[in-house]
């Protein structure tokens, strides 16, 4: 590949990494705030067929991001969808790979100058 094409690829990878981070980081922050304040929605239980079902357990975690309420009748309610986790962690992984490849291309394209003594 010619150096011009490699420079274009490097610039494209930097842009992809920034875009992926611009999607994944705010999305993670949005759901993390929801998990942080999520106990409130679980504390009051839920109503099934007009009867209140108490909360049995609440599972919270930031890595991986989860908020699951287990109710006494055995049902669970998940507040962070699996698709959101895939988008967040996939975006983060894609950004890391893009940054790494762009950095490696930048090192390869940098002119090698002898050290001055």
Residue 10 maps to a domain: yes
Residue 112 maps to a domain: no
Range of the domain at 83: 3-107
CB 67 within 8 A of CB 35: yes
Question: What is d(CA 87, CA 104) in angstroms, rounded to the nearest whole number?
Answer: 25
Lowest mean pLDDT among 20-29, 43-52, 60-69: 43-52
Q: What is the pLDDT of residues 76-110, one digit of tens each?
A: 888 888 888 888 999 999 999 999 999 998 888 87
Q: How many domains does the chain have?
A: 1
Tokens representing 16? 């992809």
Residue 50 maps to a domain: yes
Contacts of 24 (CB under 8 A, 6+ apart): 87, 88, 89, 90, 91, 92, 95
Residue 66 maps to a domain: yes
pTM of the model: 0.71
Q: What is the pLDDT of residues 24-34, one digit of tens each?
A: 999 988 888 87
């Amino acid at each position: 590949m010619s150096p011009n094409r490699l420079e274009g690829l490097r610039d494209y990878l930097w842009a992809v990494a920034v875009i992926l981070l611009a999607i994944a980081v705010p999305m993670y922050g949005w759901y993390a705030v929801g998990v942080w304040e999520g106990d409130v929605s679980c504390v009051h239980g839920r109503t099934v067929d007009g009867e209140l079902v108490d909360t049995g357990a609440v599972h919270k975690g930031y890595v991986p991001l989860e908020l699951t309420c287990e109710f006494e009748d055995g049902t669970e309610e998940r507040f962070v969808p699996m698709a959101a986790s895939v988008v967040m962690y996939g975006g983060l992984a894609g950004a890391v790979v893009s940054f790494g490849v762009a950095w490696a291309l930048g090192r390869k394209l940098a002119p090698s100058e002898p050290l001055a003594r």
